[in-house]
Amino acid sequence: MFSFFRNRRRRKLLDEPFPPWWDGILKRNVAHYSRLSPPEQAKLRGILRILIAEKKWEGVGGMHCTDEVKVTIAAQAALLLLGIEHDYYARVVSIVVYPDNFRTPNAEDDWEDDELSDSILSGQAVYRGPVILAWRDVIEEGRDPERGVNVVVHEFAHQLDFLDNTSNGTPPLDDPALAAHWQPVMQAAFDRHRAELKRGDETYFSEGAGENEGEFFADASEAFYCDPHGLREVEPEVFELLKAYYRVDPQAWFPTE
């Protein structure tokens, strides 16, 4: 019964005209948007409307979650859902936004969790908890995806990884062939990255991607959406796995000359 009313509410929301000023925000702050095909743009607009309506948006440290903040973040999170079956990150109840990098835990916040890291961060995905983001990084990376990094994509990739109740770099896979290839391909790429870090070599993936398989998957997802040609050149099998999982091909969004 609950799902019936939820779906009816969603259909009603999607039938309403898309706010024209939101379209301006997308074009200004989410460079991916103009690269998408018209059907992909329409799908992204629908997903972001549901995310904005159904999540609790919390600004901390003097941050206010305006329409610009919500649309910019929700649109980038929606990129990961364009091709896959999903329920709008149902386990993510809230999205917490700081103006800049943050340190956790923060005793003043009611979502505070004693198990959170005390490191200085630009983003964090909490299992069955919030996604926490630094607005400065969100806006800079959203406007310039060719930097190859995107904190929103990174943290929401973690949330997809969490869907099987563990963080191991393997999200739920409904394709038996994909599932059979995932672990050996990703593990081999992760091991190569770890070996490069140990030797002190220059690496394609970040140092953080060497921490564990979950971080490697999130880092690879950033590369897939922001530097697909580079990822395909460096780790072609990883690229093909992510293309099969996300069911989009970002190479079309970044044409080569």
pLDDT for the residue 107: 47
Model pLDDT for residues 111-168, shown as the tens digit of each residue:
455 555 567 889 999 999 999 999 999 999 999 998 899 999 999 999 999 999 988 9
Asked if 191 and 127 sit in the same domain, the reply is no
Beta bridge pairs of residue 96:
58, 132
Residue 158 placed within a domain? no
Q: Could you list the residue range(s) of the whole structural domain that residue 207 is in?
A: 176-253
Q: What are the backbone dihedrals phi and psi of residue 120, each rounded to the nearest 5 degrees, phi first?
A: -85, 125
Q: Classify residue 35: in a domain, yes or no.
A: yes
Two structure tokens written together for 185:
């391909």
Structure tokens at 130: 């919030």
Tens of pLDDT, residues 8-53: 888 888 889 999 999 999 999 999 999 999 999 999 999 999 999 9
Shared domain for 88 and 202, answered yes or no, is: no
CB 118 within 8 A of CB 84: no
pLDDT at 105: 59
Q: Which long-range contacts link 133-137 to residues 24+ away (Cβ below 8 Å)?
A: 133/73, 133/95, 133/96, 133/97, 133/98, 134/97, 134/98, 134/99, 134/100, 134/101, 134/102, 135/63, 135/69, 135/97, 135/98, 135/99, 135/100, 136/99, 136/100, 136/101, 137/101
Same domain for 30 and 103 = yes
Residue 79 lies in a domain: yes
Residue 247 in any domain: the answer is yes
**pLDDT tens digits, 52-98:** 999 999 999 999 999 999 999 999 999 999 999 999 999 999 999 99
Per the domain annotation, does 192 fall within a domain?
A: yes
Q: Is residue 19 part of a domain?
A: yes
**CATH code of the domain in which 34 resides:** 1.10.472.150
Q: For 163-201, what is each residue's pLDDT tens digit?
A: 999 889 999 999 999 999 999 999 999 999 999 999 999
182 shares a domain with 128: no
Task: Return contacts of 12-16, CB within 8 angstroms, 24+ apart.
Answer: 13/49, 13/50, 13/53, 14/46, 14/49, 14/50
- Separation between Cα atoms, residue 15 and residue 12, nearest integer Å: 5
